[in-house]
Structure 1
């Protein structure tokens, strides 16, 4: 049993959002300090076989942190010291947002899942951009671009979000799949998506990726891929949280919001597979990544990178080290000499 497994019952006695703030405060305190360097020495797995390149960035590991964990770029270096190869901050909106009323995060402990309806709470794009521009960060940082409810001109709102963080990220992710701000998922409609992409490209946003919902049909996913190809975007992120509630779940399943974690794993991997069969663009696989086997499944399905969020909540600060070490073991077992050789192996 790890130390985190021993103390997790105590952590889970706290309200989920309170627990997250406690963790965030701790990471913020060590960010950029000698303690961070000690963490990095203990938790980073350095092995060239884990390295990969995507959308013009070099990644020391394929395992990163998904958007939402460090919404406001308050501890980006500390997350790298936990062994992660990249980080996606945000989603950021043109102005700061308080989000939805509390409580808005709910654990499904037996299912290793989380339901959240945060509502894109964040400090606003310009504040987040200023924080990132004032830091030297050793790993690639993506910025998740979003808009709030009922934006009168969605493309203009996305442009304003981008302009607040322009030059601060290594890549930018168009979030048109958040289920917790009204109307956002409707922006996955092809015509609306084209207008958003065109406006962002006119603003100079690049490299650009699109983050998709796990609840899209196969034909809708194909439409998104066609937009990616039409505008020569850098890649895709699959997936956001789901509004679906698979049978057999325990806990507060009646709560509205997006479901993440273990219950999303199979569906998100299937979406990765569907997208990879339609495009050669890099795909970031997100949803239910807790172990090396989970990450390996997504890589073999066609993901070039994977991201963790709920896995951090349930497995704790050593999760990246565990996944990276396990990936090397799986690669050795199957005769792969690099992560790139693993990507899409199940599609052949």
Structure 2
């Protein structure tokens, strides 16, 4: 892949308002004309997770393509999967602008988008029209004004089970007031019970993942683990954005409300990922998200217990070259370890990462 982004494309993008730049980037990806990673189809990277076949372990985190406008374009860049959403039953505009901020010194992003999206009907129509190959996930959420948020998740399961390859229940965004309360044990048990019922009633049963926040106590982690193990979930995505501002250099923007993503999230989210692997055991699928801005960091997510790795904010700073860099690093790590599949590389760093703090 020719790295035009690092040779001037980033400078041009950063001259624009962050949300405007995001929209223009999506339009460019949607054309399908951008060069893809040369090693995306390396057979050694093929992996099966939750009974789904992925051409490689690298995917797009939810939020980059909320409304499923550029799914095929993203897959052509070399990703093994992409996740649309977060989508809510009814369209909603999200929070007032400005609501997206680049912390360049920290290679981080703060967002308080507020689940801005076109709603179930619009995304479903786009999914019904597409015919291309590749694994597509849909990240489902609840409307800000909903009187029954669990019912919104049930509606998402029902609506997208026949259209997506997997579904993600997102209860970890900090930008919808009260949403993270669904991570508390009693509420989580109610939610997962209703989700399981909805999946059983769906015409097509697809894997369901739970996306959690990094801002958890040890007790909170234990509660989530207990409910996940007692549920029919296929896996957990670790993690969403953080409310922590520890160690940031962009002091002026650090005071902006919202969730922080990007490089500063890496240590916290990866330590939590390793703890989840230790407590959930070897069989449940884990997807590692947060702070991946290099090939080495993509490999560390796998070593810390991830079956799949997702990126988003790292692309803001590294551009599409991050895809090829990540896949190259995975192949090199497998070769160095003398293994032939990503799954055989997994967990080699779990003990090391689980010993690191994920709070504070």
For the aligned pair, the TM-score class normalised by the smaller chain equals over 0.9
Partner of 2:346: 343
Partner of 2:18: 16
More off after superposition, 53-62 vs 155-164 = 155-164
Segments of structure 2 that go 5 or more residues without pairing to the other structure are 200-204, 352-360
Partner of 2:354: none
Partner-residue secondary structure (3-state), 1:284: strand
More off after superposition, 265-274 vs 205-214 = 205-214
Offset, 1:127: 1.4
Of the three residues 102, 107, 117, the one matched with 1:107 is: 102
Partner of 1:69: 64
Partner of 2:147: 152
Partner of 2:249: 249
Counterpart check, 1:177 vs 2:172: yes
The aligned runs of 1:14-163 (5 Å cut-off) are 14-28=16-30, 30-31=31-32, 35=33, 39-40=35-36, 43-163=38-158
* Counterpart contact for 2:299–2:329, Cα < 8 Å: no
Q: Deviations over 1:30-54 (max 9, x none)?
A: 14xxx36xx34x5452222211111
Q: Deviations over 1:102-127 (max 9, x none)?
A: 00000011110000000000010121
* Counterpart contact for 1:44–1:84, Cα < 8 Å: no
TM-score, structure 1 length as denominator? Answer: 0.94
Alpha-carbon distance in 2 for matches of 1:248, 1:288: 14
Give the superposed CA RMSD: 1.6
CA 185–106 in structure 1, closer or farther in 2 if over 3 Å, else same: same
Partner of 2:5: 4
The aligned runs of 1:292-307 (5 Å cut-off) are 292-307=295-310
More off after superposition, 321-330 vs 174-183 = 321-330
Stretches (4+) displaced over 4 A: none
* Counterpart contact for 2:161–2:206, Cα < 8 Å: no
- The count of aligned residue pairs is 341
Counterpart check, 1:214 vs 2:214: yes
Q: Deviations over 1:218-245 (max 9, x none)?
A: 2211211222211131000000000110
TM-score, structure 2 length as denominator? Answer: 0.91
More off after superposition, 152-161 vs 278-287 = 152-161
* Counterpart contact for 1:128–1:165, Cα < 8 Å: no
Offset, 1:2: 3.2
Segments of structure 1 that go 5 or more residues without pairing to the other structure are none
* Counterpart contact for 1:130–1:165, Cα < 8 Å: no
Partner of 1:187: 182
Q: Deviations over 1:238-261 (max 9, x none)?
A: 000001101243150010000000
Partner of 2:223: 223
* Counterpart contact for 2:63–2:86, Cα < 8 Å: yes
Offset, 1:150: 4.5
CA 43–122 in structure 1, closer or farther in 2 if over 3 Å, else same: farther
Q: Deviations over 1:294-344 (max 9, x none)?
A: 011110110100000001111112221111012111222222221011111
More off after superposition, 266-275 vs 213-222 = 213-222
Offset, 1:3: 1.4
Q: Deviations over 1:257-311 (max 9, x none)?
A: 0000000000010010010001131100000111111011110110100000001
* Counterpart contact for 1:96–1:121, Cα < 8 Å: yes
Q: Deviations over 1:134-190 (max 9, x none)?
A: 212321111111012252212212112333323111111110100011110111011
Alpha-carbon distance in 2 for matches of 1:44, 1:90: 27
* Counterpart contact for 1:176–1:212, Cα < 8 Å: yes
